[in-house]
Amino acid sequence: MKFLNFTAGAGLLLGTLLLAQPSWAQDHAQHSHAHGPASAAEAQELTSGEVRRIDMGTRKITIRHGEIQHLDMPPMTMVFTAADPALLAGLRVGDAIWFVAQQEQGRLMVTRIERAP
């Protein structure tokens, strides 16, 4: 009988620890990027980069970027299309940025850009 009580207690403790872990991981992710994304979800999408060229007429932006994990893309310099031309307003060559890139209809699109602090 004591063995059954120990097993139930150990299961409860293990369950409690497993349930508590994700909130610790989320808190850790939110505070581990002092100059980067603010949440765990953004950390998976936002990529650091530097603006190398802007063509407002074609909505093209050339970015030297870090790894884009969700697109399985290593660091490189490449051209993206801005989903909205307003995303390019106020940007200058040399600006450090955080951006979100998505593959849409066979093209790599930038759907969000913010200047890095």
pLDDT tops 90 at residue 13: no
CA distances to 50, 60, 69, 72 from 75, in Å = 12, 19, 10, 10
Domain limits at 10?
2-32
Helix and strand counts by DSSP (H, E) for the chain: 2, 5
pLDDT at 105: 87
CATH of the domain at 50: 2.40.50.320
pLDDT at 117: 87
- Is there a single domain that holds both residue 58 and residue 106? yes
pLDDT at 5: 52
SS3 of 108, please?
strand
Number of domains comprising the chain: 2
pLDDT at 44: 53
Average pLDDT over residues 43-55: 88
pLDDT at 84: 95
Minimal CA–CA distance to 52: which of 76, 27, 20?
Answer: 76
- Is there a single domain that holds both residue 94 and residue 52? yes
- Is there a single domain that holds both residue 97 and residue 70? yes
- Is there a single domain that holds both residue 81 and residue 103? yes
- Is there a single domain that holds both residue 93 and residue 67? yes
- Is there a single domain that holds both residue 7 and residue 59? no
- Is there a single domain that holds both residue 15 and residue 65? no
